[in-house]
Amino acid sequence: ADTTPRPCHTSSEHDSEEWAAAPGRGAGKHVDAHVDAHVDAHKAAAQVTGYKMQVAAQQERLDMAERQLSKRDADVSRLRHDTARLESEADEARSTLRHVQAQVRSQDADNTQTVLAQHANAAELRRAWDRIDEA
């Protein structure tokens, strides 16, 4: 903040006889009023400087929070992408598992039929041998 002292009135006002002759405008009262105004101006300037520092600190906190939010948004986006990819991979794995299970069931059914046919053939063979033995 600019704290350069500035005159509260022009020097021509000091020199003016009209100003000096005005009621209640003695030199002492003028100096007191001038000093009071000057002190008040400095206090106000210091207060404004304090406010500016508070605003700057708040702005820095806001900027930091926005950077953190931006980073978290990027993290969330990455996690959503990863989740979608993993869900797709899981769907593909489930589909493959169902396909393999269907193949196993089919092969198991084929094997069962084959075993049953072999048992039937073996039984038929035993009966044939038994007939041969009996003959």
- Is the predicted pLDDT of residue 85 greater than 70, yes or no? yes
Which of the residue ranges 12-16, 67-71, 125-129 has the most confident prediction, judged by mean pLDDT? Answer: 67-71
Nearest Cα neighbor of 39 from 93, 3, 15 is 3
**Residue 104 and residue 99: Cα distance in Å, rounded?**
9
Nearest Cα neighbor of 37 from 12, 7, 11, 60 is 7
Q: What is the pLDDT of residue 36?
A: 84
pLDDT digits (tens, 9 = 90+) for 40-74: 899 999 999 999 999 999 999 999 999 999 999 99
pLDDT digits (tens, 9 = 90+) for 95-111: 999 999 999 999 999 99
Residues near 2 by Cβ (< 8 Å), separated by ≥ 6?
45
Structure tokens, 125: 């063979």
Q: Coil, strand or helix: which one is 30?
A: helix
